[in-house]
C-alpha cells in the first residue's frame, strides 16, 4: 500500500494546495494532509482554524485524512506509515527552498522520499501569503480559495478592522 503525506502550513489552504492534492490522489492508495502545528513560522490562523478550513475544503474527497502534527515531519511521516512526502513546486522561487528541505529530510530519514508535483499553470503564482494580503485589503479571492476559506478570511478581517 502506497501511503503519502502532504505536509504544510496551510495558512490558509488555497486552490493551489487542492490542485496538488487532486493530482496526488490517483497516484497513491492513501493520502494524508498534515497541517503543521508549529514550524517556527508565525501563522495568521490558529492550528484549529487551519485544520477546520482544510477539513471543510476536502470534505468531498473520500479516503482523505486531515490531521495536525508537531515536531519533525519525517518522524510524523514514519509514524503514519508514509514513505512518501508530497510537496508542490511552483515557480523557480520554490526550488531552492524545497530542494534544501527535501535534502535535509532525506538526511534525517533515508527511507522517506519527497515527491514534487507541479500545479496547473493558473495556480503557479498562488500562495497563502498572497491570500492573506488580499484578505487584509478586502479584495475578491473567489477563484483562488474554496468558498469556505473566502468567507472565513473576509469575516476575520472585517472583525479585525472593526475592533481596531
Position 119 contacts ligand ADP (CB under 6 A)? yes
Q: Which residues pair with 31 in a beta bridge?
A: 4, 64
Piece of the chain touching ligand ADP by CB under 6 A; list 52-60, 61-69, 83-91, 107-115: 83-91
Q: Which of residues 31-50 bind ligand ADP (CB under 6 A)?
A: 41
- Judged by CB under 6 A, how many residues of this single chain contact ligand ADP? 17
Piece of the chain touching ligand ADP by CB under 6 A; list 14-22, 26-34, 60-68, 155-163: 14-22
CA–CA separation, 39 and 42 (whole Å): 8
Respond yes or no: is residue 83 known to be catalytic: no
Give the 3-state DSSP-derived string for the chain, with helices as H, strands as E and coil as C.
CCEEEEEECCCCCCHHHHHHHHHHHHHCCEEEEEEECCCCCCCCCCHHHHHHHHHHHCCCCCCEEEEEECCCHHHHHHHCCCCEEEEECCCHHHHHHHHHHHHHHHHHCCCCEEEEECCCHHHCCCCHHHHHHHHHCCCCCCCCCCHHHHHHHHHHHHHHHHHC
Respond yes or no: is residue 100 known to be catalytic: no
Pattern of binders to ligand ADP over 96-115, x per CB under 6 A? --------------------
Respond yes or no: is residue 128 known to be catalytic: yes
Position 128 contacts ligand ADP (CB under 6 A)? yes
Choose, by CB under 6 A, the member of 21, 28, 32, 88 that binds ligand ADP.
88
Residues that bind ligand ADP (CB under 6 A): 8-10, 14, 16-17, 20, 41, 87-88, 90, 94, 119, 123, 126-128
Catalytic positions are 17, 41, 90, 128
Amino acid at each position: 500500500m502506497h501511503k503519502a503525506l502532504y505536509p504544510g502550513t496551510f495558512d490558509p489552504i488555497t486552490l493551489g494546495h487542492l490542485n496538488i492534492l487532486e493530482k496526488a490522489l490517483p497516484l497513491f492508495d492513501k493520502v494524508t494532509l498534515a497541517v503543521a502545528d508549529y514550524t517556527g513560522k508565525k501563522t495568521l490562523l490558529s492550528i484549529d482554524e487551519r485544520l477546520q478550513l482544510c477539513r471543510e475544503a476536502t470534505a468531498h474527497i473520500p479516503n482523505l485524512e486531515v490531521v495536525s502534527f508537531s515536531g519533525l515531519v519525517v518522524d510524523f511521516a514514519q509514524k503514519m506509515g508514509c514513505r512518501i512526502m508530497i510537496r508542490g513546486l511552483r515557480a523557480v522561487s520554490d526550488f531552492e527552498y524545497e530542494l534544501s528541505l527535501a535534502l535535509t529530510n532525506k538526511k534525517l530519514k533515508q527511507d522517506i522520499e519527497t515527491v514534487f508535483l507541479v500545479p496547473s499553470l493558473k495556480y503557479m503564482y498562488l500562495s497563502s501569503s498572497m491570500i492573506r494580503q488580499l484578505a487584509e485589503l478586502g479584495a475578491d479571492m473567489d477563484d483562488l480559495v474554496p468558498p469556505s476559506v473566502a468567507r472565513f478570511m473576509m469575516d476575520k478581517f472585517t472583525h479585525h478592522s472593526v475592533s481596531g
